[in-house]
């Protein structure tokens, strides 16, 4: 494992050193380096510095250029540095420097990506469906974005603890459990028979509908259901056992959906709302004793100066209702205590719908006042927008019902199968099915991950499985094409040849490849996986241009062929690694 500094960071360092050497009085000045169309990089920092020192920027820029050129004997990084405009530096690197940097990346398993210098522990709350309820597209977003963040953070060396905060508690269980008490065999399975996720969900739906109908029509059943809630909350054993059956049946369903999503969810990480029941009373006691929460109209509340209702009255966070019941907030506050004090979290990351932002704002502020969150331990909501239908309205079926997640996944895979079949007529049905799953599920994940999470996005399967444009299929296709070239290369092996001149498309591809580590660092820091998706899409686009302009197998010399194969191979590894971090497969053939 050897981390490889990016060319950008090497250039940046070299410029900063030259600035200090030329102008010791400048202290440590930032050369403000960025990629540029005119040259490889442009540095704009000299302007501000000259202004500060009341000097002439072009003269200063010329001095810095001289200092760098005098110093550049050792590894000939720079091909040219030109002063341009009012005092910018346009910087071009040598082809040698680019190929050497890429060779160093290729020699490393991690493509030269460094581990975080001071990794901590992040507890990430994602993929949190609700017991006895169908999963919908909102749950898809949390799962997909959360899974990508887990992978990305772990890759940087962060310790990640997953928490699937499933909705497994609440008054709605009174009705369900009461119904099951009165119809005891409704959730029985033939002994030893494997229940599918689909069956589990339809059992739960049937029970839900039947108990709801009874609840709405039969006052006595309603009363018995209410008593059942009390029994559940007071921990009555028989009631808890029945509740557990609903949880277990739901888990069969959840796991089948996650499996379809090609996602691993481990049982110990599923710690639902009920997991914090034992802490609720204490959480309330601490909040009240420290004065963070106060009694208001019988309820235990936390008030905020900046949270007011439409009537101008403050809207509190209710930690305990006036009837003594605990709600969503008490659970989340207890979960924070658990995650900070028992799991040792430095960061709490919540991948939750933006419509819950006010809730989390109040919960985090409460936890901060209580001292559970502080400068060392902080909480962030990675808030995501709403999934819209093609009509731009929240995604619903024609009948106005929420769309079943499974139906969407199945449809994506079906469409992908059509694409796969069309491209490869000689595949067996098993092969088609395997690839269609990788393509279809990848398409859904990529569509979600390639737009900024905070934005709403339109769920459009036609666009998602398209071979053209910013889709996972395009990226998977780019990867498969690389693999095919490497297979066809026969005896010719990829090898870096720094002594060869590079064509413009090779340089552009090479410089982009070199940015992988920097992009990942930014994505891990800002929790913005869409920037990784954008990077990968650009990478595939550079590859397309490179193919069009540079023949790989038909290169002029054996060395050039090896060098181009080397570029292909490194691009393939980078695509594969990047897609893996997004949770998307890259089949060898497509
Ligand atoms: N189960 C909730 C829902 O379906 C999401 C839970 C979010 N996590 C949390 N700690 N509150 O909307």
> What region, left, alpha or beta, does residue 170 occupy, with left being phi > 0 and alpha being psi -120 to 50 degrees?
left
Closest CA to 241 of 290, 163, 173, 294: 173
- Indicate the DSSP class of residue 267: G
Task: Report the CATH number at residue 37.
Answer: 3.30.1360.70
| Alpha-helix runs per DSSP H in 42-156 | 45-53, 57-71, 95-106, 137-155
Please state, in angstroms and as integers, the Cα–Cα distance from residue 316 to each residue in 219, 288, 381, following that order.
34, 14, 20
Mean per-residue pLDDT for 401-424? 90
Tally of domains within the chain: 4
What is the maximum span of the chain, computed from C-alpha positions, in angstroms?
92
Asked whether 333 and 286 are in contact (CB, 8 A), the reply is no
Is a pLDDT exceeding 80 seen at residue 578? yes
pLDDT > 70 in the chain, percent: 99
Interval 306-328 mean pLDDT: 93
Atom of ligand 1 nearest to the CA of 352: 7
Helix (H) or strand (E) holding 296: strand 294-296
Cβ neighbors of 54 (< 8 A, separation 6 or more) are none
Categorize the per-residue pLDDT at 66 as very low, low, confident or very high, splitting at 50, 70 and 90. Answer: confident
pLDDT for 485 beyond 60: yes
| Dist. CA 370–CA 300, nearest whole Å | 15
Q: Is residue 56 part of a domain?
A: yes
Which pLDDT score, from 0 to 100, does residue 74 have?
A: 52
**Per-residue pLDDT at 275 exceeds 90:** yes
- Which residue's CA is minimally distant from atom 4 of ligand 1? 129
Contact predicate 373/363, CB 8 Å = no
**What ranges make up the beta strands (E) of 207-366?**
294-296, 299-302, 317-320, 347-353
> Is 296 among the domain residues?
no
Phi, psi of 551 (to 5 degrees): -75, 130
**Which residue among 125, 128, 339 is best mutated to probe the pocket of ligand 1, counting the most ligand atoms within 8 A of its Cβ?**
128
Residues paired with residue 81 on neighbouring β-strands, in sequence order: 91
For residue 540, the domain's CATH number is 1.10.730.10
Q: Count Cβ atoms within 10 A of the Cβ of residue 453 and give its class: 0-12 exposed, 13-18 middle, 19 or more buried.
A: buried
Q: Is the CB of 494 under 6 A from ligand 1?
A: no
Complex ipTM more than 0.90, yes or no: yes
Shared domain check, 189 and 158: no
Calpha distance 581→507 (Å, rounded): 26
Of the three residues 93, 108, 130, the one that is the final residue of a domain is 93
Closest by Cα among 278, 253, 251, 276 to 266: 251
Nearest CA owner, ligand 1 atom 11: 332
Residues 213, 76 within the same domain: no
- 352 C-beta closer than 6 A to ligand 1: yes
Which segments of 469-559 are extended strands (E)?
none
Among candidate residues 251, 249, 229, 227, the one with its CA nearest the CA of residue 240: 229
Atom of ligand 1 nearest to the CA of 359: 11
Ligand 1 in reach of 168 Cβ (< 6 A): no
> Are 180 and 239 in a shared domain?
yes
Distance CA 6, CA 568 (A): 19
On whether both 448 and 577 belong to a single domain, the answer is yes
The closest of 9, 13, 21 to 63, measured between CA atoms, is 21
**CA-to-CA distance for 515 and 220, rounded, in angstroms?**
67
Do residues 15 and 89 make contact, with C-beta atoms less than 8 angstroms apart?
A: yes
Question: Could you tell me the distance, in angstroms and rounded to a whole number, from the CA of residue 346 to the centre of ligand 1?
Answer: 21
Q: Measured in angstroms, how far is the CA atom of residue 210 from the centroid of ligand 1?
A: 26
Are 279 and 249 within one domain? no
- 388 CA distance to ligand 1 middle (Å): 20
Region of poorest pLDDT, from 21-25, 280-284, 307-311, 328-332: 21-25
The DSSP result for 119-146, as a single string, is --EEEEE----BTTS---HHHHHHHHHH
Q: Tell me: do 444 and 549 sit in the same domain.
A: yes
- Please determine, for residue 63, whether its predicted confidence score (pLDDT) is greater than 60: yes
* Gap from CA of 363 to ligand 1 centroid (Å): 13
pTM listed for this prediction: 0.95
Residue 588 lies in a domain: no
Closest CA to 517 of 152, 114, 151: 114
- Domain shared by 485 and 523, yes or no: yes
Task: Determine contact, residues 319/333, Cβ cutoff 8 Å.
Answer: yes
Asked whether the beta carbons of 571 and 536 are under 8 A apart, the reply is no
Q: Is the CB of 130 under 6 A from ligand 1?
A: yes
Nearest CA among 344, 349, 295 for reference residue 322: 295
Residue nearest to atom 5 of ligand 1 (CA): 128
Buried b (16+ CB within 10 A) or exposed e, 149-179: bbebbebbebebbbbbbbbbbbebbbbbbbb
The answer to whether position 299 is within a domain reads no
CB distance 167 to ligand 1 below 6 Å:
yes
Q: Is the pLDDT of residue 44 over 60?
A: yes
Q: Kindly give the number of the ligand 1 atom that is closest to the alpha carbon of 328.
A: 11
What per-residue confidence (pLDDT) applies to 402? 81
Residue 32 in domain: yes
Q: Evaluate: CB of 332 within 6 angstroms of ligand 1.
A: yes
Q: Which domain holds residue 50?
A: 7-93
The verdict on the CB of residue 146 being under 6 Å from ligand 1 is no
Whether 536 and 428 map to the same domain: the answer is yes
Please tell me whether residues 416 and 565 are part of one structural domain: yes
Contacts of 82 (CB under 8 A, 6+ apart): 39, 65, 89, 90
Read off the DSSP letter of residue 494: -
pLDDT for position 72: 65
Query: What is the distance, to the nearest Å, from the Cα of residue 348 to the centroid of all Cα atoms in its chain?
Result: 15
116 assigned to some structural domain: no
Q: Is the CB of 128 under 6 A from ligand 1?
A: yes
- Specify the pLDDT at position 30: 85
Domain membership of residue 314 (yes or no) is no
142 Cβ closer than 6 Å to some ligand 1 atom? no
The ligand 1 atom at the shortest distance from the C-alpha of residue 353 is 12
Q: Is the pLDDT of residue 156 over 80?
A: yes
Atom of ligand 1 nearest to the CA of 332: 10
Residue 300 lies in a domain: no
By the 8 A CB rule, do 177 and 208 touch? no
* Residues 160 and 190 occupy one common structural domain: no
In this structure, the answer to whether residues 89 and 147 fall within a common structural domain is: no
Residues 431, 556 share a domain: yes
pLDDT in the model for residue 75: 62
- Kindly state the tokens that stand for 526: 């800002």
Atom from ligand 1 closest to the CA of residue 167: 1
Residue 442's pLDDT is 98
């Amino acid at each position: 494992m050897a981390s490889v500094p990016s060319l950008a960071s090497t250039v940046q360092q070299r410029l900063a050193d030259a600035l200090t050497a030329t102008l010791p009085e400048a202290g440590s000045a930032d050369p403000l380096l960025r990629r540029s169309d005119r040259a490889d990089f442009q540095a704009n920092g000299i302007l501000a510095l000259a202004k500060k020192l009341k000097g002439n920027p072009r003269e200063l820029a010329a001095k810095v250029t001289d200092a760098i050129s005098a110093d550049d004997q050792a590894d000939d990084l720079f091909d040219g540095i030109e002063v341009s405009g009012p005092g910018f530096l346009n910087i071009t690197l040598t082809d040698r420097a680019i190929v050497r940097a890429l060779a160093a990346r290729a020699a490393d398993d991690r493509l030269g990506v460094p581990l975080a210098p001071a990794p901590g522990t992040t507890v990430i709350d994602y993929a949190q469906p609700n017991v006895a309820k169908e999963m919908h597209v909102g749950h898809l977003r949390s799962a997909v974005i959360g899974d990508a963040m887990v992978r990305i953070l772990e890759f940087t060396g962060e310790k990640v603890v997953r928490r699937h905060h499933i909705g497994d508690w609440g008054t709605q269980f009174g009705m369900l459990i009461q119904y099951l008490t009165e119809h005891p065999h409704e959730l029985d399975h033939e002994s030893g028979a494997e229940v599918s996720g689909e069956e589990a969900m339809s059992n739960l739906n049937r029970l839900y509908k039947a108990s709801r109908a009874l609840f709405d029509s039969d006052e006595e059943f309603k009363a018995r259901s209410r008593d059942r809630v009390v029994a559940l909350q007071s921990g009555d054993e028989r009631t808890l056992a029945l509740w557990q059956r609903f949880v277990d049946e739901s888990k069969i369903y959840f796991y089948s959906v996650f499996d379809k999503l090609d996602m691993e969810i481990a049982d110990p990480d599923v710690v639902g709302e009920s997991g914090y029941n034992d802490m609720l009373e204490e959480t309330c006691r601490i909040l009240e004793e420290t004065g963070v929460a106060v009694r208001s109209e019988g309820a235990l509340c936390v008030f905020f100066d900046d949270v007011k209702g439409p009537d101008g009255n403050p809207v509190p966070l209710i930690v305990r209702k006036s009837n003594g019941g605990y709600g969503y907030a008490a659970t989340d506050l207890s979960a924070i205590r658990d995650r900070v004090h028992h799991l040792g979290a430095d960061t709490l990351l919540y991948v939750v719908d933006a419509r819950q932002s006010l809730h989390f704002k109040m919960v985090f502020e409460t936890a901060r006042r209580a001292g559970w969150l502080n400068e060392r331990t902080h909480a962030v909501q990675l808030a995501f927008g709403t999934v819209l239908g093609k009509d731009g309205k929240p995604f619903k079926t024609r009948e106005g019902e929420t769309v079943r997640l499974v139906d969407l996944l199945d449809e994506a895979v079906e469409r992908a199968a059509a694409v796969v079949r069309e491209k490869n007529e000689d595949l067996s049905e098993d092969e088609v099915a395997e690839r269609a799953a990788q393509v279809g599920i990848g398409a859904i994940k990529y569509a979600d991950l390639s737009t900024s999470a905070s934005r709403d996005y339109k769920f459009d399967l036609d666009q998602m499985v398209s071979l053209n444009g910013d889709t996972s299929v395009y990226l998977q296709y780019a990867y498969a094409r690389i693999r095919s070239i490497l297979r066809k290369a026969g005896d010719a092996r990829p090898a870096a040849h720094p002594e060869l001149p590079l064509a413009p498309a090779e340089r552009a591809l090479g410089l982009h490849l070199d940015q992988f580590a920097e992009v990942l660092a930014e994505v891990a820091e800002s929790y913005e996986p869409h920037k990784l998706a954008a990077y990968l899409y650009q990478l595939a686009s550079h590859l397309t241009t490179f193919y069009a302009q540079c023949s790989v197998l038909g290169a002029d010399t054996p060395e050039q062929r090896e060098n181009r194969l080397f570029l292909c191979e490194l691009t393939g590894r980078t695509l594969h690694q990047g897609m893996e971090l997004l949770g998307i497969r890259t089949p060898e053939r497509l």
